[in-house]
Structure 1
């Protein structure tokens, strides 16, 4: 278990708590902002700052993102026998090198910029609230919004310069094996679900909020032939708010189909939404809409997250793809975001035990992996039935266009950094590797 953790509060079942402690629990609202703990104890400075960020931003993802950045930085400092408050400038400089230069631990430039922002703002808060001297150097930098204070350490790292975020093809089976984490009695239901979640992210590159809200009716038909199959991502639960049609990796969908057949039926419980929407009958394959029992037409592209959570199959079960192992309810977005990181930590531990290295990855890195591998395939030339793929030649511009379409990027220039990484991967791997035709454990 990692020594530095991000904890999240939440509601509890009062009757269960009462049975456990023998008295009714106090009606105290749960802590909603992230809490940073070190060796099981709350880290007070980081936790207080995160609570302030959570309140200031209205409970957006900003506080959670900053918490993850501080978690990584605090773990780095702990290995050097110091704390967030005890960090010196040399620790900051070492961490910049650790995250942006060292081959085994460097990350994408965008990831580093998020970490740098969190570190800067945290130490500014610590200075203003507790009078702690800054371990960072602030420069006044002119911008189009006027002069701003900018942290000198780690400035100037291009967003797309640092390699390491997209998974290499042989690393994918390692991550999936760590996610499955079979228990002593055989199949781990939550592990099978987590592997399916990661597999779907690798297959289509969807963001965490989209993956968490997909229904069982939106997966490609498992009978479809080919290494790449057509898939639609709905707009109402995606950042771009527009439907995306893309090519999904057929091989990476296998954990999803296996989860649907074996683990998901066992995860179903008696949970039901308060105001259910019952589907009259399952849609025909390829149809992107359903009708409820009242005759209302529901389009998958425009169905909101709330409507999806209320959606029941004709048999009265939740239609959401990913379910909680605790009560069979639809998996929350917050819980879904943690799945990849948790599996990554296990993969990292397994790698360390055998003297190897595994990168720490988040759900968004599955998206980077999808884009990079799809771009690499278009550079190498994809064999298959898709007409566009059949006509493809090793062309970086075609790779950019295809990966940008799959990711839902309006501007293909956003994807250019992935394509440069794809070019480097093409020197080490072939078509079979990118299509997922490698044995787990290799």
Structure 2
């Protein structure tokens, strides 16, 4: 059991209390702010600060308090392992913590470091003002075009665009999926789900929050046989649409998904043979479900509920997606938790990849080799790099044409720009990094290796 935990807050689950304790719980106003515990004991300073953060941001319905709680939990894990506390942490502890987050196999993105630093600074400034504890950080006054600003010195200068990317090579993908499938000897429900979750990230490069909230309706369907075409064959790249409402932008992205990875997800959600069906026994409809009356059509990328309301997938919120129930009485979310059959949280989604990666790293170490630490962000980098390599080799999209309208190979620069669309943004600095990676991979592996036709 983890020593440091974040409890998200909220109201009583009346049914659970009555079933477990045999009593009706009192009507108590819910605690909305996160609470942090260490070995089951509330960390008073951290929890008090989070209550203040929640009070400042709750009316704007932001995720700030939860984000700060998750950041503080990670920092607490580190200093607890070094036999100190939040009040006892020194400047050296904070500097070393930032170093561990920015170097080595467990490095995180520049955006994550910026969020970490904002949390550390905010907490310790509050601790100074409210408890009289001296700052273990250094605050400098910097001159800017908009006037002087106060800035935490520790960790300053790490660019937000410096997100660590570890694009996996084709053989490493096989190792990662093998770790997911055979972890704990494959004797649990998580094996198929974890492999499918990683495969979906590799297929479309979506962020963790988007992957966790995608619906079964949004998976591209395999072509149906017709009298004129009894044995339809899909291309290696097929069109997929990602919603913007549960990601960083509000813009829907239409991208070419890599079919070899998408096939594993399709098998997982198969109602008759897929691993997902094993989790549905634990699932219970939400208190306020949205029942689907009409599924998506060729003209409308969304659903119509039993009240006649049309809900476009691109504008459907995370909460609406979690409440969506299909006409057969099943959750519309692709991925569920193991024990309660609930939709995944973004944190759980990220932990899936981290846990499977840790297993692949352990196996590699036992074999005397090295496996890179992989995050959901690295799945995005792998998707973009492999897609660019496939474009370079000349694999056609569903339209069968490249940027110039020709079905033959294009240069690496253009291939990278095409692949970047799938990430939801185009950043020239990131693109330049991909160019070298694509060139190296294209020189080492054949098109069959990227498409999973052969093992190399």
Question: When the two structures are superposed, what TM-score results if normalisation uses the length of structure 1?
Answer: 0.80
1:196, CA displacement in angstroms? 2.5
Q: Retained in 1: the 8 A contact 2:14–2:25?
A: yes
Q: How does 1:311-350 map to 2 (within 5 A)?
A: 311-326=324-339, 328=341, 331=343, 335-345=345-355, 347-348=357-358
> Which of 62, 68, 75 does residue 73 from structure 1 map onto?
75
1:33/1:403 Cα in 2 relative to 1: closer, same or farther (>3 Å)? farther
Kept in 1, the 8 Å contact 2:353–2:375? The answer is no
The answer on whether the counterparts of 2:396 and 2:402 sit within 8 Å (CA) in structure 1 is: no
Shift of 1:219: 0.7
- 2:221 is aligned with 1:197: no
- Pairwise CA distance, 1:212: 3.5
Determine the structure 2 residue equivalent to 1:138: 139
Taking a change above 3 Å as real, the CA distance of residues 63 and 357 of structure 1, as seen in their structure-2 partners, is: farther
Q: What whole-Å deviation, never above 9, does each CA across 1:234-257 have from its counterpart, x for those lacking one?
A: 344443222211011222223311
> 1:137-188: per-residue Cα shift (whole Å, max 9, x none)?
111112344311111122112233463465565554555455557667x653
Indicate the residue corresponding to 2:4 in structure 1: 4
5 and 306 in structure 1: CA distance in 2 versus 1, 3 angstrom threshold: closer
CA contact 1:311–1:318 (8 Å) conserved in 2? yes
* RMSD of aligned alpha carbons: 3.7
SS in 1 for 2:422: helix
* Contact 1:34 1:64 survives alignment (8 Å): yes
Per the alignment, residue 421 of structure 2 pairs with 405
- CA distance in 1 between counterparts of 2:182 and 2:31 reads 30
SS in 2 for 1:36: strand
Report the Cα distance in structure 2 between the residues aligned to 1:49 and 1:433, rounded to whole angstroms: 51
Q: Per-residue deviation at 1:221?
A: 2.2
Secondary structure at the aligned position of 1:57 is classed as: helix
Tell me which of 87, 90, 97 is aligned to 1:88: 90
Structure-2 separation of matches of 1:43 and 1:255: 43
CA contact (8 A) 2:388 2:438 kept: no
1:103 corresponds to: 104
Q: What CA distance in whole angstroms lies between the structure 1 residues aligned with 2:80 and 2:453?
A: 40
Q: Is the 8 A contact 1:4 1:75 kept in 2?
A: yes
What secondary structure sits across from 1:341 in the alignment? helix
CA distance in 1, matches of 2:172, 2:29: 42
Contact 1:271 1:328 in 2 (8 A): no
Residue-by-residue CA offset, 1:293-340 (whole Å, 9 max, x unaligned)? 6766554344454554454433343333334545555x15xx243222
2:410 match: 393
Contact 1:196 1:256 (C-alpha < 8 Å) held by counterparts: yes
Correspondence for 1:370 among 366, 376, 383: 383
* 1:373 and 1:422 in contact (8 A); partners too: no
Secondary structure of the structure 2 residue equivalent to 1:387: coil
Does the residue aligned with 2:147 lie in a helix, a strand or coil? Answer: coil
1:271 to 2:285 alignment: yes
Cα offset, 1:359, TM superposition: 6.1
Residue 256 of structure 1 corresponds to 265
1:352-395 per-position Cα deviation (integer Å, ceiling 9, x unaligned): 574677666554554344334434555x5353564228444343
Secondary structure of the 1:5 match is: strand
Contact 1:381–1:394, Cα closer than 8 Å, also in 2: no
Q: Which residue of 2 aligns with 1:221?
A: 221
The structure-2 alpha-carbon separation of the partners of 1:254 and 1:32, relative to structure 1 and needing over 3 Å to count, comes to farther
Deviation of 1:42 (Å) = 3.1
**Contact 2:165–2:378 (Cα < 8 Å) also in 1:** no
The answer as to whether partners of 1:175 and 1:344 remain within 8 angstroms in 2 is no
Could you tell me how far 1:260 is from its partner in structure 2?
0.5
- Larger deviation, residues 249-258 vs 367-376: 367-376
Deviations 1:37-62 (A, max 9, x none): 33443333223223322332225222
Counterpart of 1:245 in structure 2 is: 254
On the 8 A contact 2:128/2:134 being kept in 1, the answer is yes
1:189 and 1:266 in contact (8 A); partners too: yes
Whether the 8 Å contact between 1:278 and 1:316 is mirrored in structure 2 is no
**Mind listing any 5+ residue stretches in structure 1 that lack a counterpart?**
none
- Secondary structure of 1:278 counterpart: strand
Report the Cα distance in structure 1 between the residues aligned to 2:306 and 2:190, rounded to whole angstroms: 32
- In structure 2, C-alpha distance between the alignment counterparts of 1:72 and 1:351, rounded to whole Å: 21
Q: Does 1:118 align with 2:107?
A: no
| Cα deviation, residue 421, structure 1 | 4.8
| Partner SS state of residue 407, structure 1 | coil
Task: Give the distance between the partners of 1:179 and 1:47, measured in 2 at CA.
Answer: 35
Which range is displaced more, 169-178 or 216-225? 169-178
Question: In the aligned structure 1, how far is the partner of 2:377 from the partner of 2:332?
Answer: 24
CA distance in 1, matches of 2:373, 2:50: 22
Q: TM-score when scaled to structure 2?
A: 0.78
1:381 match: 393
**Where in structure 2 are the equivalents of 1:409-428 lying within 5 Å?**
409=425, 412-413=426-427, 416-417=429-430, 419-421=432-434, 423-424=436-437, 426-427=439-440
